[in-house]
Amino acid sequence: MARLQKSEVLKPQDILVLLKLVLEENRKNAWNYKEIGQDLGISNSEAFQAVRRAKAARLFIPGEERQPGKVARRSLEEFVLHGLKYAFPAQLGPNRRGLPTAHSGAPLNQKIVSSRNYVWNYPDGQVNGETIEPLYPSVPFAASKDPALHQLLALVDALRVGRARERSMAAEELHNRLAIA
């Protein structure tokens, strides 16, 4: 069995890129690395490398000729549900102002009432709560620009830090959103 090169090992930003690509596929939008990078607050070369690593991990199916390929949604779902919290564990921090995440953000905040708020530290945020270190530093920026991405990332955080009920609800919601459109 061939050994993966260090550059082929998944990084947290790869999940951010894949979730954005799922949304672009759902919206039937053509995409390029420059636009994805701009939307996510990363460089186009970081976006390209993320897709390259995702291909190596079999989370992205290469396209043919001028087709960019597509996200391997079932594989991504399996990884997010069962491996993400181990590969990229959540780090909790002090209370700050930020963007709501996990069960404090949509869509779970409509189903779960809790006195405990989780946020990504973000100066323009409107909610105070215990901070969760985002998967990648640009997550709050990207989430503030795209509400659908914000919701996917909040669900991912619910899987990373939630209790059994929260994780179960997040898993079901994520499954529905990753279903092939």
pLDDT tens-digit series, residues 64-87: 877 789 999 999 999 999 999 999
- CA dist 145 and 111 (Å) reads 24
pLDDT digits (tens, 9 = 90+) for 116-140: 999 999 999 989 999 999 999 999 9
- CA dist 169 and 171 (Å) reads 5
Q: DSSP 3-state assignment of 87? A: helix
Report the sign of the C-alpha dihedral through residues 49, 54, 55, 61, in that order.
negative
Query: Which parts of the chain are beta strand (E)?
Result: 60-62, 69-71, 92-100, 118-121, 127-132
> Which residues share a beta bridge with 62?
69
Q: What is the DSSP string of 132-158?
A: E--SSTTHHHHHHH-HHHHHHHHHHHH
pLDDT of 181 strictly over 60: no
Query: Would you say 23 and 149 are in contact if contact means Cβ atoms under 8 Å apart?
Result: yes
pLDDT band at 61 (very low <50, low <70, confident <90, very high): very high
pLDDT band at 6 (very low <50, low <70, confident <90, very high): low
pTM across the whole model: 0.94
pLDDT band at 1 (very low <50, low <70, confident <90, very high): very low
- Tell me what pLDDT residue 178 has: 95
Q: What is the DSSP string of 27-46?
A: TT----HHHHHHHHTS-HHH
pLDDT digits (tens, 9 = 90+) for 84-96: 999 999 999 999 9
Indicate the burial class of 35 (C-beta count within 10 angstroms; 0-12, 13-18, 19 or more).
middle
Contacts of 163 (CB under 8 A, 6+ apart): none
Q: DSSP 3-state assignment of 47? A: helix
Calculate the CA 57 to chain-centre distance: 16
